[in-house]
Amino acid sequence: MPTYAKSEDWLLQSSLLLEARPETTRITTRYTIRPHIRRTKKSSPPPSSSSDAPSTNPPRGHLELKTYDPVSGACLKYRTVKLAEVGRLMQLLGNRLARTQAGVPVREDGEAGEDVVMADAAGEAGSGVATPVGGGGEKGVADKAAGGGGGGGGGKGRKKKGKR
């Protein structure tokens, strides 16, 4: 019962499963709202935190997409909390997966669709896990720039520091 980190992976595997078993596979979209539980520090008094948390923090929701085939028992999942992804995912459910389910050939204007996927994927990466990496990279660039600005002497000094 794998949960995929990337929606593209989920989509690919799901479409493969649907192609194999279009008649029995079902796709469930589960939207869940849960109260936002704040991980409070132990030192803070519980009554104040419990009274503050519900008023200040809106409930958190998440969306889970599940492709399940009861015959083979295959179950593929994807989970997201991003509202920006919902529209795209639902469109994909229709354009790709529902078409396979319905037995209608998937439209071959896949180029435009894939372009959209790629753009969104890049956006996800930018706002998600990859952010620290990008930040680190830019820091490195800034570092180099600063070193260059300081001149050769500055560069040498920093090298010595590194050796120590």
Partner 1 sequence: MAVLSQDEFFVKLTELFRSHDGKDHGEVFLTQKRFTAGDTTTSPCDPAEPPKPAPILIRATDGQSKDDRASKIKFSTLVQPDDLDSFYARYAEVCRAGMATLKPRDRTKRRKNKKKKVGGAGQTSMRAVE
* Spatial contact of 72 and 97, defined as CB atoms under 8 Å apart: no
Q: Is 114 in the site for partner 1 (CB under 8 A)?
A: no
Q: How far is CA 155 from each of CA 77, 87, 138, 150, rounded to the nearest angstrom?
A: 51, 50, 19, 7
Residues with Cβ within 8 Å of 37's Cβ and at least 6 positions away in sequence, in order, are: 53
Amino acid at 118: M
CB nearer to partner 1: pick between 6 and 144? 144
Q: Is 93 in the site for partner 1 (CB under 8 A)?
A: yes
Q: Which residues, numbered 20-59, are part of the site for partner 1 (CB under 8 A)?
A: 20-36, 54, 58-59
Question: Two tokens at 159?
Answer: 């090298």
Q: Are strands 26-34 and 60-69 parallel, antiparallel or unpaired?
A: antiparallel
Nearest approach in angstroms of CB 7 to partner 1 is 14
> Cβ of residue 94: shortest distance to partner 1, in angstroms?
3
* Residue 22 phi, psi (nearest 5): -70, -20
**Between 43 and 151, whose beta carbon lies closer to partner 1?**
151
How many chain residues bind partner 1 (CB under 8 A)?
59
Q: Which residues bind partner 1 (CB under 8 A)?
A: 20-36, 54, 58-63, 71, 80-84, 86-87, 90-91, 93-95, 97-99, 101-104, 127, 131, 135, 138-139, 142-143, 146-147, 149-150, 154, 157-158, 161
